[in-house]
């Protein structure tokens, strides 16, 4: 479903991605983990070409996005994306947030767009917030609306860019719950996350990135439970037990 | 003073502050009284608040003067807003010639006196395009002049508004399959316009005042706006009362508008993100 080959991305002199090869099969859930600055968010943003790769190939659902002739707008309709900062449209109600792209892009009728919106808002448990504005919702609710907004387009792939990193800890569960159900429904998902328990439980495969390359990948139990590389071990011990770190211990480079 | 003692009792801080403040009030009062006392109140009253002359300017000062001022302002503002939006989008375009044109236009028209634009539109346009008459005659010319000037200012305001919309908004719209233009139109520009409503209201106040420059367009009696009308009557009658009435007509519109702009700005700072 997603195929990334020899992907490189530089910002000026800074090489953020240095040769990424990755495949995500239909129905598969892949979690990408790694320290900040490892390039995992950039990788995700390259999959729908929000970030234009310096070189390499990206193919999603049979369409090569890196082909200059590719109609990006058409392919992006089939790739849902959820952002760390939600990026709901603050001037529109919840319902309008979920219907606007259906109306303007898919040219659905108002009645049909609303029907689809209601169904998807129900799916994320927010059918009662239909007339609210984003500013009136909690972070967790906003993120679930953002998920409904993406789902309303009927995507074949969903990309999640640290969807719970901007949330208060007690609101993380609701969003992860929605994502877990989505995974069970068979959605193809690529998730950049720091939620190791989610990755361990939901991911079919976990990819550990560091320094712009994939260091390790495999079943969640292996990569998270028994990582083979030193870098992954150090990172995971920090993430899983932050209190155990010693003062003065050298930051992993 | 209760606790102050010793040979030279020093002033407490509170006492000193009272003295300074008292001094300031005293100076202010003396100046005001001197000015009021030396003015010739009879003359002032006769020249600036002459009741019989005041009665003569009504209702024309409203039905002709204020009416034309409002027409010039509103049509000029509408043209300026449309032009400003187009210029702002050109300024942000990825095609270089658009950017250059917008930048040149904005710099040129912000750097010229509005008066010059009025004279140019009044005399230059009929010469440059012979036989063409702007729709509405003087009304068209005034709207065009004000529109040309205000478009340059509004373009910069709107551009700042567009750039103030977080980048994630455009990204979210693009990931939903909207084209650059569609995302701009349905997501970014509506938010930008909300952001720029207070500064645009201030622009409207400026335009309202600049509409007085229409007197350089060669207007007929019925096309006079507030300033022209009142100064005409004032010089006919040899009395300044019409000027005072015109001033009140301006302030009745500008003060509430400025107040509204401040309110909107304050509300925006409090609410939403």
Q: Which residues of chain A lie closer than 8 angstroms to B173, CB-CB?
A: 89, 101
Q: What pLDDT is attached to residue B188?
A: 95
Q: Taking all residues of chain A, what is their mean pLDDT, rounded to a whole number? A: 93
What is d(CA A31, CA A188) in angstroms, rounded to the nearest whole number? 11
Shortest Cα–Cα distance, A106 to chain B (Å) = 9
Q: What pLDDT is attached to residue A253?
A: 41
Residues pairing with A30 in the sheet: A190, A205
Residue (of A24, A28, A22, A30) closest to A4 by Cα position: A22
Number of C-beta neighbours around residue A180 at 10 A? 15
Q: How far is CA B93 from CA A166, B98, B261, in A?
A: 33, 7, 29
What is d(CA A101, CA A86) in angstroms, rounded to the nearest whole number? 16
pLDDT value at B1 more than 70:
no
pLDDT value at A125 more than 80:
yes
HSE at residue A24, side-chain half, CA atoms within 13 A, is: 31
Give the pLDDT band (50/70/90) at residue B219.
confident
Q: What pLDDT is attached to residue B261?
A: 87
SS3 B167: helix
Give the pLDDT band (50/70/90) at residue A248.
low
Comparing A147-161, A228-242, B120-134, B195-209, which segment has the lowest mean pLDDT? B120-134
Class of domain B58-272: mainly alpha
pLDDT value at A210 more than 90:
yes
The secondary structure of chain A, three-state, reads CEEEEEEEEEECCEEEEEEEEEEECCCCEEEEECCCCCCHHHHHHHHCCCCCCCEEEEEECCEECCCCCCCHHHHHCCEEEECCCCCCCCCCCHHHHHHHHHHHCCCCCHHHHHHHHHHHHHHCCCHHHCCCCHHHCCHHHHHHHHHHHHHCCCCCEEEEECCCCCCCHHHHHHHHHHHHHHHHCCCEEEEECCCHHHHHHHCCEEEEEECCEEEEEECHHHHHHCCCCHHHHHHHHHHHCHHHCCCCCCCCC
Shortest Cα–Cα distance, B269 to chain A (Å) = 14
Q: What pLDDT is attached to residue B175?
A: 96
Q: What pLDDT is attached to residue A252?
A: 47
User: What value does the mean pLDDT take over residues A25-45?
Assistant: 94
- Nearest-Cα residue of chain B relative to residue A90: B272
Chain B residues near any Cβ of chain A (below 8 Å): 166, 168-169, 171-179, 182, 186-187, 190-191, 194, 271-273
Do residues A118 and A127 make contact, with C-beta atoms less than 8 angstroms apart? yes
Percent of chain B with pLDDT over 70: 94
B264 or A109: which leads in pLDDT: A109
Comparing A178-182, B122-126, B181-185, B268-272, which segment has the lowest mean pLDDT? B268-272
Q: What pLDDT is attached to residue A23?
A: 95
Q: What pLDDT is attached to residue B129?
A: 75
Q: What pLDDT is attached to residue B27?
A: 95
Residue carrying the six token digits 């509004």 = B154
Q: What pLDDT is attached to residue A239?
A: 86
ipTM of the complex: 0.91
- Nearest-Cα residue of chain B relative to residue A76: B177
pLDDT value at A130 more than 90:
yes
Q: What pLDDT is attached to residue A249?
A: 57
User: What value does the mean pLDDT take over residues A12-26?
Assistant: 94
pLDDT value at A5 more than 50:
yes
Domain locations along chain B:
58-272
Residue (of A49, A44, A79) closest to A61 by Cα position: A79
Do residues A153 and A5 make contact, with C-beta atoms less than 8 angstroms apart? no
pLDDT value at B4 more than 60:
no
Residue (of A127, A124, A36) closest to A84 by Cα position: A36
Give the pLDDT band (50/70/90) at residue B57.
confident
SS3 B4: coil
The secondary structure of B74-132, three-state, reads HHHHHHHHHHHHHHHHHHCCCCHHHHHHHHHHHHHHHCCCHHHHHHHHHHHHHHHCCCC
Q: What pLDDT is attached to residue B220?
A: 83
Q: What pLDDT is attached to residue A244?
A: 75
What is d(CA B24, CA B40) in angstroms, rounded to the nearest whole number? 27
Cis before B59 (ω within 30): yes
Interface probe with B: pick from A75, A79, A89, A100, most Cβ of B within 10 Å: A89
Residues B89-114 pLDDT 10s: 999 998 999 999 999 999 999 999 99
Cα of B248 vs its chain's centroid, Å: 16
Give the pLDDT band (50/70/90) at residue B271.
low
Q: Which residues of chain A lie closer than 8 angstroms to B191, CB-CB?
A: 89-91
User: What value does the mean pLDDT take over residues B141-159?
Assistant: 94
User: What value does the mean pLDDT take over residues B214-228?
Assistant: 86
């Amino acid at each position: 479903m997603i195929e990334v080959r020899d992907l490189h991305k530089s910002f000026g002199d800074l090489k953020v991605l240095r040769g990424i090869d990755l495949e995500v099969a239909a129905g598969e859930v892949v979690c990408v983990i790694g320290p900040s600055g490892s390039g995992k968010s950039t990788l995700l943003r390259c999959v729908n070409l929000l970030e234009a790769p310096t070189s390499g190939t990206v193919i999603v659902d049979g369409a090569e996005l890196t082909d200059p002739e590719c109609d990006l707008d058409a392919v992006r309709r089939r790739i849902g994306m959820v952002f760390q900062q939600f990026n709901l449209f603050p001037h529109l109600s919840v319902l309008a947030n979920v219907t606007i792209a259906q109306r303007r892009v898919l040219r659905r009728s108002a009645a049909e767009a609303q029907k689809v919106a209601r169904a998807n808002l129900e799916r994320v448990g927010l059918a009662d917030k239909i007339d609210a504005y984003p500013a009136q919702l909690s972070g967790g609710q906003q993120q679930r609306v953002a998920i409904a907004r993406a789902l309303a387009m009927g995507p074949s792939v969903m990309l999640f860019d640290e969807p719970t990193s901007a949330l208060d800890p007690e609101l993380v569960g609701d969003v992860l719950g929605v994502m877990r159900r989505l995974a069970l429904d068979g959605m193809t998902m690529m998730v950049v996350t720091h939620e190791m328990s989610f990755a361990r439980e939901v991911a079919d495969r976990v990819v550990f990135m560091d320094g712009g390359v994939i260091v390790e990948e495999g079943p969640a139990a292996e990569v998270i439970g028994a990582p083979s590389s030193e870098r992954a071990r150090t990172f995971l011990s920090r993430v899983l037990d932050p209190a155990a770190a010693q003062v003065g211990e050298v930051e992993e480079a | 003073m209760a606790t102050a003692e010793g040979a030279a009792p020093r002033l407490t801080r509170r006492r000193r502050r009272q003295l300074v403040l008292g001094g300031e009030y005293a100076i202010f009062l003396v100046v005001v009284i001197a000015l009021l006392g030396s003015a010739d109140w009879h003359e002032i009253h006769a020249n600036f608040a002459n009741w019989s002359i005041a009665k003569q300017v009504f209702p024309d000062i409203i039905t002709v003067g204020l009416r034309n001022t409002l027409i010039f302002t509103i049509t000029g503002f509408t043209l300026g807003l449309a032009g400003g939006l187009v210029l702002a989008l050109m300024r942000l375009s990825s095609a270089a010639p658009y950017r250059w044109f917008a930048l040149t236009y904005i710099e040129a028209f912000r750097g010229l006196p509005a008066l010059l634009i009025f004279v140019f539109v009044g005399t230059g346009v009929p010469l440059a395009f012979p036989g063409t008459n702007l729709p509405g005659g003087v009304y068209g010319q005034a709207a065009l002049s004000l529109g040309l000037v205000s478009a340059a200012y509004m373009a910069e305001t709107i551009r700042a508004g567009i750039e103030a919309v977080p980048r994630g908004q455009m990204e979210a719209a693009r990931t939903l399959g909207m084209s650059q233009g569609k995302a701009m139109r349905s997501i970014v520009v509506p938010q930008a316009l909300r952001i720029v409503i207070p500064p645009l209201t201030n622009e409207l106040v400026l335009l309202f005042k600049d509409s007085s420059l229409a007197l350089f367009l060669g207007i007929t009696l019925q096309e006079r706006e507030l300033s022209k009308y009142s100064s005409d009557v004032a010089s006919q009658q040899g009395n300044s009362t019409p000027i005072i009435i015109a001033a009140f007509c301006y302030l009745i519109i500008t003060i509430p508008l400025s107040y509204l702009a401040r309110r909107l700005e304050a509300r925006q700072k409090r609410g939403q993100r």
